[in-house]
Structure 1
Amino acid sequence: MISLRQDESDERRIEKLNRIADVLVERIDKLEEGRGSAWSMFQAAVALEQEVQARTRDLEKALADLSERNRELAVARAAAEEANRSKTRFLRAASHDLLQPLSAAKLFLSALKDTALDDFQSELALRLSGAFESVEELMHAVLDISRLDSERIEFQRKPVDLGGLFRRLAIEYAPMAESKGLKLTFAPTSAVVLSDSVFLRRIAQNLVSNAIKYTDQGGVLVGVRKRGARAWLEVRDTGVGIAAGDRARVFDEFQRIAREGGAPGMGLGLSIVRRACLKLGHPIALDSQPGRGTVFSVGLPLVAPGAHAEPAPAAATGPSLRGRVALVVENDEPMRRAYQLMLRDRLGMVPRVAGGTAEALAMMGEEPPDVILADYNLDNDDTGLQAIAALRKAAGIEVPAIVVSARRDPEIGRASMAMGAPMLEKPLRAEELQIVLHKLLS
């Protein structure tokens, strides 16, 4: 009996020891697992650190490469900007030398038209006039594109009377429309808008000229539609129209609608319109149907009623210019001769011509002229503004004056305006000069 109890007690102790051993083994297994996991984490951390170091080195190299590329881009951009400035400076300098003979030729041609010509001579004069107009249009287009592509272009936004602009365009483009047998109509308007008067006129000129070129029958209608805070300048024609696939590219340079006989020009007009509208913030729309015509619309911000609008040049009316003395300051001999012929033979004025400020002062004498006509670019750093100031000082009175320039520089325009002297651009139109002279001497 005692032996049986002893056996049971031993079995219980063995079972207890087994359980203790199992627990100890389990704890040891867990401890080993924990040690393995920690080791794995340690190894992963080391690998991650190495990966971070490698990626850091790659990033530093990429940043160094990017910095080098940025320096190269900065150098390239500076070179491009300098090239653009050089191009602009070249065009400004070249424009004077190119427009000078063209301006003289147009004044000579104007004087020729005022003489008695037979039919053959009249035809030659007409064709020469058309050729000069084409050259002038192309040169103005190139200069306009150069100015609009410049980052430093300055716009003179002011109220512009669209009615006055329409009257000026009607006179300017009536001969072109009549030569094609087209009816050119400008709807009367009292709208006043805020824009740059020079570039708004160029926009309208290009749209009207383009409409006439691509219209063979019917006519062209120019008008204004007021919608909300905008006045939409619309140019409608009954011309060939523009296919849907061509509507985007017509605003690109040297693009013209292909058709039999073609149209004159280099395809730059609408490109100038798009550039100018983009710079001025004027939206432009196009609606067209092939064979039925086209409508170009330009959105212009309306100005409150009563705002002072820049007046458009009036017709060449007023007191007679005959016998009035005009002192011309011009360093180019052909231009001096052209001024003499036009002022004397066409307008009946008494022209006195000088090559610079000193010569003009010596020529003026005690009796001041009725008007001064001075070219901006004279020899030896002399300018027309300096000549006008010196002549007015010597005369002791504010003699009416006109500045003529081939440089489309807003600074020259502002300086001329500050002196109370209107500025005319070369190539000079005889009709435009006559209008300004009448206005100044009225």
Structure 2
Amino acid sequence: MILPPGEDAQGRAVRLERIAEALIERVDRLEETRGSARSMFQAAVALEREAIARTRDLERALADLSEKNRDLAVARAAAEEANRSRTRFLRAASHDLLQPLAAARLFLSALTDTGLDETQAELAARLGAAFESVEELMHAVLDISRLDSQRIEFHRKPVALDALFRRLAVEYAPMAEAAGLRLSFVPTAAVVDSDPTFLRRIAQNLISNALKYTARGGVVVGVRRRGGLVWLECHDSGPGIAAADRARIFDEFQRAVPERGPQGMGLGLSIVRRACLKLGHRLELDSAVGRGTVFRVGLAPADAAAGAGQAAPDPSAAALRGRVVLVVENDAAMRRGYELMLGGRMGMIVRCAGGTAEALAAMGQDDPPDVILADYNLDNGDTGIAAIGALRAAAGQAIAAVMVTARRDGHVARACAACAVPLIEKPVRPADLAAALMQALGAAPPLA
């Protein structure tokens, strides 16, 4: 081996030792690097296995969730179908349920107009009260069914509150008088945006509720403007409602009165809450125990000019005396009831028919009636709408008409609105029927 110039054996040994140390250090670093890479590889493998396991767990959880969602969807569909079935049944059955009640009310109304002795008058009054209770219950059940339906249709329009108040004053004056209470309606020019049928039901339930649970004093119904809304308010001087009871009284069959207090079904305020919620009307309650209660319904104002034509007709039936009415009703008991009420109490000349063909024959060629009173549901698919249309076409003129029905759905309301025919629901109150007939006679629509 040749040594570098000037390097002896000892120098060479030192140099070789340094080279060896450097090599050893490099090898150590390589080993460390290789060990770190191996550790990383092993960690990556472990993470991959963990990810696979967690993915499988997640897939199983998603599968379970999907199955539960399917079960919930099936259960929800079944519940919705059950609700629709209930609504369809009540809608279909309402005519048959209310028909005998409507006939009984007509006969009872005719009976009370005859000379009754004291005992008979008392029996008639008790029968009337019983019919009122049954009617109230049936209307409440049907109203709740409609309001719970997802397919309910509202017909919003400007509603003149003063006209509504006059109608309610006539309707509830006997109830207030019998209870020895004052019932007052404050005149107003307010016109609001709402569904007139359901707004009337809201007001009816609030007034009826106030009269039932007020022992002394009275009930005042009026309007207050606040916060851009028109607030329909019903004040009473009743026992008041404790704070603990103010939420539950809006539930079904709840009454915040003692067991020996006035009896009611506890459905009226539930209907008020449901109707206000569906219509978007705010509902408020203030009460002081021992001092009385006020219910408020917040209504959006409407164009006063649009509602100006809704003034209620005079409920007196004197204007109907001597007018000819053609009754189109397939139920014999109802026809007889109409004959007694329209001919006896209102002094009208009554003709009756069971359907469209019979009505055309009864009318004759040149002798149209002053007004048509038709039931919507007739026999063999015939309807009151068809009868009115056929009679108007045969007469060649716009005969005034009123529709009576036990059905509560949008189809009937739209059909009546299309031919400008007032619609009233069974059971028929004499005052409501007289008002509807006078409304029709005062504003018959143009011939289509």
Give the TM-score of the pair, scaled to structure 2. 0.92
> Would you say the 8 A contact 2:166–2:312 is kept in 1?
no
Q: Is 1:67–2:66 an aligned residue pair?
A: yes
Which residue number in structure 2 is paired with residue 35 of structure 1?
34
For 1:41 and 1:30, the matched residues in 2 are separated by 16
CA contact (8 A) 1:317 1:438 kept: no
Describe how 1:264-343 pairs up with structure 2 within 5 A.
Answer: 264-309=263-308, 311-317=310-316, 320-343=319-342
2:414 aligned partner, one-letter code: R
Query: Following TM superposition, by how much is the alpha carbon of 1:79 offset from its aligned partner in structure 2, in angstroms?
Result: 2.1
CA distance in 2, matches of 1:247, 1:424: 34
State TM-score, norm by structure 1.
0.93
Shift of 1:12: 5.9
Cα drift, residue 411 of structure 1: 1.8
User: 424-433 or 56-65: which moved more?
Assistant: 56-65
Structure 1: which 5+ runs fail to align? 1-5
Instruction: Note if contact 1:215-1:240 (Cα within 8 Å) is conserved in structure 2.
Output: yes
Which amino acid counterpart does residue 301 of structure 2 have in structure 1? L
- Which residue of 2 is the match for residue 350 of structure 1? 349
Could you tell me whether the CA contact under 8 Å between 1:141 and 1:269 is conserved in 2? yes
Query: What's the counterpart of residue 382 of structure 1?
Result: 382
**Helix, strand or coil: the match of 1:320?**
helix
Verify: 1:429 aligned to 2:424, yes or no: no
Cα deviation, residue 132, structure 1:
0.9
Letter in 1 for 2:357: A
- CA 1:24/1:416 → structure 2, altered by over 3 Å: closer, same or farther? same
- 1:229 CA displacement: 1.8
Residue 261 of structure 1: SS of its match in structure 2?
coil
The change in CA–CA distance for 1:304 and 1:340 in structure 2 (over 3 A counts) is closer
Counterpart residue identity of residue 294, structure 1: T
**Paired residue for 1:363?**
362
- Rounded Cα–Cα distance in structure 1 between residues aligned with 2:61 and 2:311: 61
1:396 counterpart residue number: 396
Following the alignment from structure 1 to structure 2, what is the Cα–Cα distance between the partners of residues 255 and 43? Answer: 70
Identical amino acids, percent of aligned pairs: 68
Q: Find the aligned partners of 1:50 and 1:397 in 2 and give their Cα distance.
A: 88
Counterpart contact for 1:134–1:265, Cα < 8 Å: no
Q: 1: CA distance between counterparts of 2:172 and 2:379?
A: 36
Give the distance between the partners of 1:141 and 1:309, measured in 2 at CA: 30
Q: Map of 1:18-97 to 2, 5 A cutoff?
A: 18-97=17-96
Following superposition, the deviation at residue 244 of structure 1 comes to 1.2
Give the match for residue 3 of structure 1: none
Structure 1 match to 2:104: 105
Report deviation, 1:271: 0.7
Give, as a single letter, the amino acid of the residue that structure 1 aligns with 2:352: V
Secondary structure of the structure 2 residue equivalent to 1:380: helix
Preserved contact between residue 401 and residue 437 of structure 2 (Cα < 8 Å) = no
Q: Please, what is the CA RMSD of the aligned residues?
A: 2.0
Task: In structure 1, give the amino acid aligned to 2:71.
Answer: E
Q: Deviations over 1:118-145 (max 9, x none)?
A: 2222121111111111111111111111
CA offsets, 1:278-330, max 9 Å, x none? 11111111111222211111111112443335615322247632332211111
Per-residue deviation, residues 398-432 of structure 1 (Å, max 9, x unmatched):
21111110001222112112222211110011111
Report which stretch shifted further, 285-294 or 8-17.
Answer: 8-17
Give the 3-state SS of the residue equivalent to 1:38 in structure 2: helix
**Is the Cα–Cα contact under 8 Å of residues 377 and 405 in structure 1 kept in the other structure?**
yes
Rounded Cα–Cα distance in structure 2 between residues aligned with 1:399 and 1:348 = 20
Residue 236 of structure 1: SS of its match in structure 2?
A: strand
Matched-pair contact (CA < 8 Å) for 1:370–1:400: yes
- For structure 2, list consecutive stretches of 5 or more residues without a partner in the other structure: 1-5, 443-448
